[in-house]
Amino acid sequence: MSEKLQKILARAGHGSRREMEAWIAAGRVSVDGEIANLGDRIEADAKVRIDGRQVSLKSAEDVICRVLAYHKPEGEICSRKDPEGRPTVFDRLPRTRDSRWVAVGRLDINTSGLLLFTSDGELANRLMHPSNEVEREYAVRTFGEVNDLVVQKLRTGVMLEDGPAQFDQIKAAGGEGINQWWHVALHEGRNREVRRLWEAVEVQVSRLIRVRYGMIELPKTLPRGGWMELPLEQVNYLRQLAGLEPETRSMLGMDKHSVARAKVRSAKVRRAVRKQKTSQGKTTRQ
């Protein structure tokens, strides 16, 4: 049976459905030699090209939904390429065959913490849709006086330039003087919403770390710049949030050899991150 072109491309991991729709609208996608149009439906044997390069098409049965948890450092941007040459969140991810990783949302350049990537563009598209209000939790270090009145305002809501906003949860997490740590949670995904909420009550944010997405927490053992593949149970939790059928297969094996390989990969990630930090430190001293 035929399916919509953007859905097939997203499922195969070429990007989110929103990205695929934009590419089709821009004339970058062709089907059997003809420029595609939004809403086109195609059969499984169609020859599809993006920017002149033929891409693979996969049926739902052929696609294994994979999800990575990545510990984004400050200083990386959430784009595949940057004209200014800055590092991107895609630089350290593992390579995939005939597809690519799609980021589930974004974190700004000065924000660190948990960022999810998936090989299934349809999953990413649904999780990012405004109707799918997944709760996100952040650790925030603030600079400035925060009294009970300020906290109450952030709980009940303040007016931002794009409408009212508030934290679903806010609780103190220690600190000294006017440098305090807080844990805040909200379910919207507006641009820089956490920072803008604090700025609205005249408090500056000096550190911002995402520590949780839904029930997926930033692993305590995952170093900055490191990634790990999520087990099938967590993948299906995200698919359930998105209203998708559960995945039955995983690239993570449960046999002892797979566990050993996973430990070796984890050790390699840590060594690579330490090596990069050492190199950056030497460059700074020079």
Q: Is 7 helix (H, G, I), strand (E, B) or coil?
A: helix
Out of 40, 108, 120, 162, the active site residue is: 108
In the prediction, which pLDDT does 284 show?
45
In the prediction, which pLDDT does 81 show?
84
CATH dotted code for 3-54 = 3.10.290.10
Low-confidence stretches of the chain (pLDDT beneath 70): 1, 59-61, 98, 253-286
In the prediction, which pLDDT does 14 show?
84
Q: Is 127 helix (H, G, I), strand (E, B) or coil?
A: helix
Residue ranges matching CATH 3.30.2350.10 in the chain: 67-130+217-285, 136-213
Whole-angstrom distance, CA of residue 55 vs CA of residue 134: 32
Whole-angstrom distance, CA of residue 21 vs CA of residue 159: 33
In the prediction, which pLDDT does 3 show?
84
Sign of CA dihedral 155, 158, 160, 164: positive
Give me the architecture of the 67-130+217-285 domain, per CATH: 2-Layer Sandwich (3.30)
Predicted model pTM: 0.76
- Residue 172 forms beta bridges with which residues? 182
Answer whether 189's CB lies under 8 Å from 130's CB.
yes
In the prediction, which pLDDT does 37 show?
94
Residue ranges matching CATH 3.10.290.10 in the chain: 3-54
Give me the architecture of the 136-213 domain, per CATH: 2-Layer Sandwich (3.30)
Quick: pLDDT tens for 255-268.
444 444 545 554 55
108 is catalytic: yes
In the prediction, which pLDDT does 129 show?
85
In the prediction, which pLDDT does 152 show?
95
Which residue carries 């990012």 as its tokens?
A: 128
